[in-house]
Amino acid sequence: MELQGKRIVLGVTGGIAAYKAAELLRLLSKQGADVQVAMTEGATHFVTPTTFQALSGKPVFTDQWDARMPNAMAHIDLSRQADLILVAPASADFLARTAHGLADDLLATMVLARDCPMLVAPAMNRQMWENPATQRNVAQLAADGVHILGPACGEQACGEVGAGRMLEPEEILEEVIAFFTPKLMAGKKVLITAGPTFEAIDPVRGITNLSSGRMGYALARAAQHAGATVTLVSGPVSFSAPQGVDRNNVRSALEMHAAVMARAGEADIFIGVAAVADYRVANAAEHKLKKDTGGIPPIELVENPDILAEVAALKDGPFCVGFAAESQNLEAYAQAKRKKKNIPLIAGNLIQDGFGGDDNTLILFDEAGAHPLKPAAKSVLAGQLIQHIAHLTGKN
């Protein structure tokens, strides 16, 4: 419920992408937003107001002369009640009228009368988007403080391929959540490791662990929402990188070490979330090991580099945050690890409380002591950890 209590006017203009606005409304509402829909007359030719009324539980406004408002001023009342106006899709016609301050229908009048921020997600044919007139209008809107979301490139309803597709509803939702997130890390470069590593025994077998990567990915998302430029070095996981995050895929601990050390010097903050294997196989087989060769093949283990300790030892290196997943004696082990690696902050959890799952329980350990966080989804805990890091780095 990351948008709990936020009041959003969702403006829908004419275009085939209007059908996606119904899913966007559902996603916004699911995150706790109070959404009021306003449609242009053109939009009603693609999706009916009844659809949006059913999804929002509120009447949909389409007419600037709507008599349901006691003062007949829907354009004033709706905009004054909003924390944000989001127009998706935003047609070329809407962008042009808004850039020139026209007020010839309810949505355009409301936009002109607003005293809240506005985000627009353009959607149109690629040539309409590339037209110099549209680009001038978009540039003017951006200069006026309007946030432009997209558009994306891809196949269009007309059969052509190029820029002009509206961002997907999930992508717009992420942009809205990021918009409302305080920019506690604006201007910071954050480097994060996530997921497990895989140490090969032969081409098909290896040593790994049960880390899902969810916590590292949640932290990358939270840091990006907080305004940071985020680089994510990820071991093998099964989901996509958060929007706006630069992801670098690795497999083994040595690959992760090389990727991190190549980037650590430029980072302001390093968060080592990955469950890096302590050991790798020194004598990994070139070909698949066979059972019928007689006996159990010997496996020789050698220690992997300690990535977090090496980054923490860098001269003028980044602010370092570690993770400690323990099965017992959490505070003692976590604080000992923090002091041994000489890092200012470590987040600890008991393996049985959430290792590999969607939820977790974290305790943050720093020089001031222990700071327990209430059990919650990893996305919530990630936001709280980012706030704590911002607080500590703000003191430095």
pLDDT digit string, tens, across residues 220-264: 999 999 999 999 999 999 889 999 999 999 999 999 999 999 999
CA–CA dist 152, 84 (Å, integer): 22
Do the domains spanning 7-180 and 189-395 agree at the CATH topology level?
yes
Has 84 been labeled as part of a binding site? no
Enter the pTM of the model: 0.88
Has 307 been labeled as part of a binding site? yes
Non-local CB neighbours of 125 within 8 Å, separated by 6+ positions: 156, 158, 160, 164
298: number of Cβ within 10 Å: 6
Say what percent of the chain tops pLDDT 90.
80
Per-residue pLDDT at 69: 66
Domain boundaries, the chain: 7-180, 189-395
Mean pLDDT across the chain, nearest whole number?
A: 92
Per-residue pLDDT at 334: 92
Has 341 been labeled as part of a binding site? yes
Q: What's the half-sphere exposure (Cβ side, CA atoms, 13 Å) at 352?
A: 4
Active site residues: 158
pLDDT digit string, tens, across residues 54-64: 999 999 999 87
Q: Decide if pLDDT at 353 tops 60.
A: yes
Per-residue pLDDT band for 155 (boundaries 50, 70, 90) equals confident
Has 305 been labeled as part of a binding site? yes
Look at domain 189-395 and name its CATH class.
alpha beta
Per-residue pLDDT at 360: 83
Per-residue pLDDT band for 351 (boundaries 50, 70, 90) equals confident
Q: Which has the minimum average pLDDT: 64-73, 187-196, 252-261, 343-352?
A: 64-73
Judge: domain 7-180, CATH 3.40.50.1950: yes
Has 337 been labeled as part of a binding site? yes
Per-residue pLDDT at 74: 60
Has 316 been labeled as part of a binding site? no
